[in-house]
Amino acid sequence: MNSATLWFLLAFSVLYIVLILFAHKGRAAKGTGLTEFFVSGRDLGLGTAIATLGATEIGLITIAYNAQKGFNEGFSAFHIGLAALVGCALVGLFGFVVKPIRRTGVLTLPEYYEQRFGRDVRVFGATVMAAGGILNMGLFLKVASAFLAAMLTANGIALNVNVLMVTLIAIAVVYTCYGGMRSVIITDIFQFVLLGAGLIAAIVFLSGIIPMDQAIEIVAREKGSAGFDPLTNDNFGPGYALWMVLVAGVVSAAIWPTALSRALCIEKEENVQRAYLIASVIFLSRMVLPAFLGVLAFCYFTGANAALLEGYGSDADLVATPYMLGHVMPGWLLAFLAVAMFASFMSTQDSYLFCWSSIIARDIVGPLTGKIDAERFQIMTTRIGIFVIALYELYWGLIYEGKEDVWDYLAVSGSIYFCSGIVLMAGGLYWPGATRRGAIWALVLGFTAVFGLGPLKEAVGLQALSSPAIGFGAIALSVLGFVVGSLTDAKGRAQPKGARS
């Protein structure tokens, strides 16, 4: 065991915990009421909004799947970051969804479904939203634990992945149940600073070991043009690139609930577009920086060092980057980066746990029991939901054996919600003729995106179709259902209640 690294790890961990506790003192419980618990009192300034929006979308899972993409696909993986930049910038420039949804004053996104389409659509839509979101986070714990374990094991600090999974999820549950959204946002700010500093320091250090010209030479030799051009890469192509503009950019910023919920917390409506426009640079960085680490890991393990990954089998591409970090970095820097990544895991974890449990409590259980505005009931139900979702995440992380890259799994599982979510949100906000029938048909048909998951794709014989093709098909079906359902619903075509920009 590397005792020096362990001491640094303990010291940085204690310092992080002390700073977090100090930051929470008198702030996490700043006020009472549902607005305080669910949207942090709706008082975020521009700087805080940018930090929490960026931090929520830069978790340890983000580092892991982008590093895996960089390891497998070389520099061509950078196009995912460029697509995210374009998509998020478009949202910021035009205020697509984020501006009008802030104007509605809702506390959760399915609440808007009731304003626009009725209570039954709220419950149905919330069920689809929560199902897709919870399934989406199924690999968070497994991947984060494997990443941290590989990084520290390479430096001589042995960790059991299953024990680490239980420990991480237990800490996340206890923490997330405290303080609601304000507690989540405080952690986001710390994570944003820590992880940014850690990633930049790691890249600067590694660039001294593997210079850029050497990395370009190795990728060109081993991967050819596919390592640089996503359009000629068999695993990408034009359709995949377009899918990334939608998924990594527009959907991640304007439709995905953990990000869109940040718009609900911003104090001034005029700051909503600014926050997303500036955050588009973060959306670029969250993809490109980890992918570059993955490229460096590929270069590092090409040649004599390849034997170091032999014991990891099919997980070699996932653990290559953390193993490289643990193998070459000095103990103090490795310890700092490990704590920064732990902080990033906590930040994303509490955001996702809180988001889906609050939707279950406020938009499914609340309407069904008639206790939508019962403060004590809503908060307690949310906390119970956090615990139950965490148990599922632990179980799913142990049993799921898909064949996709982590990022592709996230894109496909998330599409279970967003293929209909983007239709209902945009259609409801911008089309006066949308009706309840159209919304229900869109939700039903959009759920066909579930067949993009590897095991289900094989079960129904859709192996010939790519996940982006299935995703675009599900969106097309959802749009068709939304339009046809609305146009054939003469009774429902009354003046809508929803906000339009």
Give the residue with greater pLDDT, 162 vs 320. 320
Q: CA–CA separation, 344 vs 59, rounded Å?
A: 5
pLDDT digits (tens, 9 = 90+) for 456-476: 787 888 778 887 888 899 999
For the ranges 168-177, 351-360, 385-394, 457-466, which has the lowest average pLDDT?
A: 168-177
Looking at this protein, which amino acid is placed at residue 67? A
Q: 383: which residues sit within 8 A by CB, 6+ positions away?
A: 177, 357
Give the residue with greater pLDDT, 355 vs 497. 355
Q: CA–CA separation, 322 vs 63, rounded Å?
A: 10
Q: Has residue 180 got a pLDDT over 50? A: yes
User: What is the percentage of the chain residues whose pLDDT exceeds 90?
Assistant: 41
b/e burial code for range 50-72 (CB count within 10 A of at least 16 → b):
bbbbbbbbbbbbbbbbbbbbbbb
Q: How confident is the model at residue 27 (pLDDT cuts 50, 70, 90)?
A: low
pLDDT digits (tens, 9 = 90+) for 97-151: 999 999 998 988 999 999 999 999 999 999 999 988 888 887 787 788 888 888 8
Residue 39 is predicted with a pLDDT of 81
Q: CA–CA separation, 299 vs 15, rounded Å?
A: 34
Q: The tokens 């460029």 sit on which residue? A: 82
Average pLDDT over residues 475-489: 94
Q: Helices 140-153 and 375-399 sit at what angle, rounded to 10 degrees?
A: 60
Residue 167 is predicted with a pLDDT of 77
Average pLDDT over residues 86-95: 93
List the CATH code of the domain at 3-368. Answer: 1.20.1730.10
Contact 434, 118 (CB under 8 A): no
Three-class SS of 400-448? CCCCCCHHHHHHHHHHHHHHHHHHHHHHHHHCCCCCHHHHHHHHHHHHH
Q: 429: which residues sit within 8 A by CB, 6+ positions away?
A: 97, 100, 101, 116, 498, 499, 500, 501
Count CB neighbours of 280 within 10 A.
Answer: 22
Residue 430 is predicted with a pLDDT of 95
pLDDT digits (tens, 9 = 90+) for 216-250: 999 999 999 999 999 999 889 888 898 889 888 89
- DSSP H or E segment with residue 454: helix 454-459
Q: The tokens 């820590």 sit on which residue? A: 194
Residue 500 is predicted with a pLDDT of 40
Residue 171 is predicted with a pLDDT of 76
Looking at this protein, which amino acid is placed at residue 405? D
pLDDT digits (tens, 9 = 90+) for 404-424: 567 677 777 788 888 899 999
> 379: closest CA among 359, 358, 393?
358
**CA-to-CA dists, residue 498 to 114, 117, 367, 426, angstroms:** 9, 9, 19, 11
What burial class does residue 164 get, using C-beta atoms within 10 Å of its C-beta: 0-12 exposed, 13-18 middle, 19+ buried? middle
The mean pLDDT of the chain is 85
